Structure 1
């Protein structure tokens, strides 16, 4: 059985418009399905569990943004059921679609899902009992995610299909007041103290924040996470280097270093805001564990 979980307000209402097209297409083809439309944050995860445990759904499709992907994937993980995951992009950033080369056209994405191809098995990132699909960020980018999600301008940029601009505006706002601090990172048992850390990003795909290439070498099914650390740089130096992240050229900057591993412990001198796939979920200290070959994605 095919199941859908739809976030109608994602992308400033794009989710509802996309679902209307998909529903018409499904009914025209006579495809049987179950569907839930969310009303509040957190419902997608509960709905995913219910569809998998009560409706015998074997293919579950998220229609929304990266936050919806995160909730549905956590529902699949919580249920313990073997289920293939599909995604139809209708958000502002759509990093999951970009990171896995999924179609941006809703009907084209649906046709691929209905083709019943085997799909690709990917890794997930486990943090404090939850899972992330794209990335985990602590520090500056966690604060940026929090600021963006609370900002009134996010919906205006979404209306113009300029979701990444919201993130850029938030970066500039947070940069003005954010204070870096010393942090400690342990990757597969090897520890290091890092001075004046701005951010630590653990990634399963190259991009986050609506397309920024934070970890260009990240691969979703290689069994390890890519870790990007930005530290020991002035506020002005960080601002000057910021445009490099759009092309991935920041990898050559002296304030940027990378690690790879399966178990990552992040600690800091003060609690740092942590996001999972762009949604604020915790504060440091955290442990990120790579769950290898955990989830099949329909492509």
Structure 2
């Protein structure tokens, strides 16, 4: 059920001093909105270490003080209903993902037609950090009410969208193992932390076989084919721990950044990691970096894929067509702080 305000049992504003509701000033994406304007919150109570529920309650209070009512969706079914409601409602200011990068991914895969924003409450929060979006609900409310709107490219991997990156091979194996441990026998996703990645990294290092990938750039010019063991397709230059794998990737250039690592094995992966930390990997033989619109990946065996840090299926050798990723130019509008500088501001 889509709810008005926080879920029962979460923090409310019974002990909060009442503040006058004022009509906010106009923002760059349209005229002044009325007190009846509303914001949809796509919430994940289990993001990160379980901070989602408290952040939702604080954000609801902060938005109410700015004259914006809130509707909260806690489940995938509610999220689908809310995105549909927003597309039909001229009074919807935006939809806000309250959670980590997985919550952002879930929202963009509902194909929202209104602007989105993010209140980060996850483990890495790569998307939010890239755009300078604050973890503090009060600052997030200011961005929602008075922020600027920018148009972003997205990537599409077969039928799923991604905002950050797609990873094929070793890193996707780690993501898949971490996800399975996080879900467990209960099939309920539990909160996580960076420490929870240690065991999946160690197990994958000993057990993953690093099969060969065939990567084809499918742009009209130039046509290229690479053979490697690990591949990434970046939309944003953000990766876990701040690793600069594709530091020149941009969210507004109509292109994706392809990075392919040739040599297989855990020792080669460790060597590549050292080069990435030092910012030297793109100059090394056996590492290829291309800026592309469309790329396909195939293999003789099944290989895992991750999208924005969550399992994204696999490269299926028996599929009638290869796995593909392509850019979706200006596919979504994002509210960012008023101080944010970007050439793709929406007038």
TM-score category, normalised to shorter length: 0.7 to 0.9
**Cα distance in 1 between the residues matched to 2:259 and 2:248:** 10
Among 89, 93, 97, the alignment partner of 2:124 is: 93
1:272 is displaced (CA, Å) by 1.1
CA distance in 2, matches of 1:273, 1:242: 20
Instruction: For residue 234 of structure 1, report the CA deviation from its aligned partner.
Output: 4.1
Superposed CA RMSD: 2.6
Q: Which has the larger radius of gyration?
A: 2
Question: How many angstroms apart in 2 are the aligned matches of 1:141 and 1:124?
Answer: 21
Which of 3, 6, 9 is equivalent to 2:46? 9
> Where do 5+ consecutive residues of structure 1 fail to align?
none
**Structure 1 segments (4+ residues) deviating >4 Å:** 42-45, 53-56, 152-158
Contact 2:87 2:114 in 1 (8 A): no
2:80 match: 46
Per residue, is there more strand in 1 or in 2?
1
Question: Are residues 293 and 157 of structure 1, via their aligned partners in 2, closer, same or farther at CA, if it must alter by over 3 Å?
Answer: closer
Q: Do structure 1's residue 177 and structure 2's residue 177 form an aligned pair?
A: no
How many angstroms does 1:223 deviate by? 0.6
* Cα shift at 1:62: 0.5
The alpha carbon displacement at 1:29 in A equals: 3.8
**Structure 1 residues 170 and 19 mapped into 2: Cα distance closer, same or farther (>3 Å)?**
same
Deviation at 1:228? 1.2
SS of the counterpart of 2:259? Answer: strand
Q: Confirm or deny that 1:207 pairs with 2:245.
A: no
Worse-matched range after superposition: 278-287 or 87-96: 278-287
Query: Whole-Å Cα distance in 2 between the matches of residues 276 and 261 of structure 1?
Result: 18
Alignment correspondent of 1:150? 180
Normalising by structure 1, we get a TM-score of: 0.85
Q: Residue 227 in 1 paired to residue 258 in 2?
A: yes
Deviation (angstroms), 1:55 = 5.2
Corresponding residue of 1:272: 303
Residue 192 of structure 1 pairs with residue 225 of structure 2: yes
Determine the C-alpha separation between the residues in 2 that align with 1:219 and 1:61. Answer: 22
SS in 2 for 1:11: coil
Q: Could you tell me whether the CA contact under 8 Å between 2:249 and 2:256 is conserved in 1?
A: yes
CA deviations on 1:30-55 (whole Å, 9 max, x unpaired) are 422222123xxx44752443332465
1:91-141 CA-partner distances (Å, limit 9, x unpaired): 0110101222322333212211111x3411110101222211111111111
Q: 1:198 to 1:98 in 2, by over 3 A?
A: farther
Give ranges in structure 2 of 5+ residues lacking alignment.
Answer: 1-37, 316-321, 337-347
Q: Against the structure 1 CA distance between its residues 18 and 243, is the aligned structure 2 distance closer, same or farther, given a 3 Å change threshold?
A: farther
Q: 1:59 is matched with which residue?
A: 94
Aligned partner of residue 295 in structure 1, secondary structure:
strand
Aligned residues of 1:148 and 1:166 also touching (Cα < 8 A)? yes
Cα distance in 2 for residues equivalent to 1:247 and 1:106: 35
From the superposition, tell whether residues 147 and 52 of structure 1 become closer, same or farther in structure 2 (CA, over 3 Å): same
